[in-house]
Amino acid sequence: MESDRLSDNELNHFSAERRFVMQTILSSAVIAVLIASFLIILRWGNLILTGQMPARFFAFFAILFTSGLDVGLIMFPLTEFPIYESEQVYGFTNPIAIEFGFWGFFIWTFYFLTTCYFCIIEPRLKIFEIPWVKFINNVIIIATCAFTGYLFLQYLPDYFPGLGPFFRFSIVAIVLVGAVYSSTDIRYVKILSLSSTWLFFALILVMWAFGGLGLGGLAINLLEISDYFINIYRFILPFSDYHAFYLFWWFAWSIMIGQFVSRFVGGLRTWQLLIALLIIPSIPIAIWFSVLFEVYEQGLDISGFINGFMILVGVIFVTNSLDSLTRLYSENLQLTVDRLGKLKYIGIHWCLLYGLILFYQFTPLQIEWIGLIVIGFYAAISVLIYFRRQMLTLSTNT
């Protein structure tokens, strides 16, 4: 009797075709980001960018760093270094350079493009005020915000061995309450961003001392990272499924992070913003991976205080990401504290996000899907910019 189900070979063929289509779309989108960034520098390179709530230079980058990154920066590397050492696809360089390539330098171009868009183009064209654009934008923000909480839920057992489901879900629920509460006032967002940045620096120092790396060892590991720049062309297009996962992840975050942090740009020229985005976040990321790799290489046990400190910083990074995104979509939807009151505000947004986190447990949803939606959204915005280009030309010439 003929089966309705696909055979293994047919499934593998389908998966290969789907992978090819997704990676083709992703590659085209990455190239488009590079071209658009180049055109922005060419057209508005010397334009001074100022957001709605300009912040001091360090405060701006603290907000960008902690909002634009999440718990993955803290929790992923120790589980990823063995993969980068053993799998052939990563054999062209060392594990620290691979890790850095997935988190540092070039990849911040995504945030540069969207930050510039919301500083330069959106105030003139107001595309994100179009109802259907606003709707899709907020759906993306809410979905990605909840997915961040879901990833935190999934990775907790790696750092809390033996942690039961009840405590996992309880920890995530408590963290989400803190994030939603922090989003009630922009002052809390700024304070938490600055605090978590300093805590991250403290974690680097603690891990550096714990690993006994010394200045010489740190210099050697940083030199290993320099191999990334020799191979930077390899990191532009996806060279593995996992690299594609990271690129989709950055796409999924790019529009909403640019939308949020553009408010705090404080008088940088466009070319200065690009250089700063490429270099400044990459420095602590490079140092963090260097000290963490030493701990991995020595096989040191990170249980106890070290593990607790990492979890603390990871929790604060998650809180920072969630409060920034919650504040963004709540303002877009006018579901603010001023309109709802603090208790109702916290209750509505907590229920919405925690409900989605639980929903993700029972669905095959992947960040790649959100990334694809965002890429399609990029294409739609580009078409709208093309049709409104005359308005843009007139407004920038006046």
**Residue 311, domain member (yes or no):** yes
**Residue 38, domain member (yes or no):** yes
Query: Residues for the chain: how many in total?
Result: 398
Nearest alpha carbon to residue 257 among 267, 269, 265, 266? 265
pLDDT number for residue 72: 79
pLDDT number for residue 11: 38
Kindly state the percentage of the chain with pLDDT values over 70.
93
395 band by pLDDT with thresholds 50, 70 and 90: low
pLDDT digits (tens, 9 = 90+) for 349-387: 999 999 988 888 777 777 788 889 999 999 999 999 888
**Residue 14, domain member (yes or no):** no
pLDDT for residue 20 is more than 80: yes
**Residue 258, domain member (yes or no):** no
**Residue 105, domain member (yes or no):** yes
pLDDT digits (tens, 9 = 90+) for 142-170: 888 888 888 888 878 877 777 788 888 99
**Residue 262, domain member (yes or no):** no
In this predicted structure, which of 103-112, 164-173, 219-228 has the lowest mean pLDDT? 164-173
Other CB atoms within 10 Å distance of the CB of residue 249: 21
Total of domains in the chain:
1
**Residue 101, domain member (yes or no):** yes
pLDDT for residue 247 is more than 90: yes
pLDDT for residue 14 is more than 60: no
Domain span including residue 41: 21-250+267-397
Q: What pTM value is reported for the model? A: 0.86
Rounded to whole angstroms, the Cα distance separating 254 from 108 reads 9
pLDDT digits (tens, 9 = 90+) for 178-226: 999 999 988 888 888 888 889 999 999 999 998 888 888 899 999 999 9
pLDDT number for residue 317: 84
**Residue 199, domain member (yes or no):** yes
Kindly state the percentage of the chain with pLDDT values over 90.
46
Over range 56-82, report the average pLDDT.
83
6 band by pLDDT with thresholds 50, 70 and 90: very low
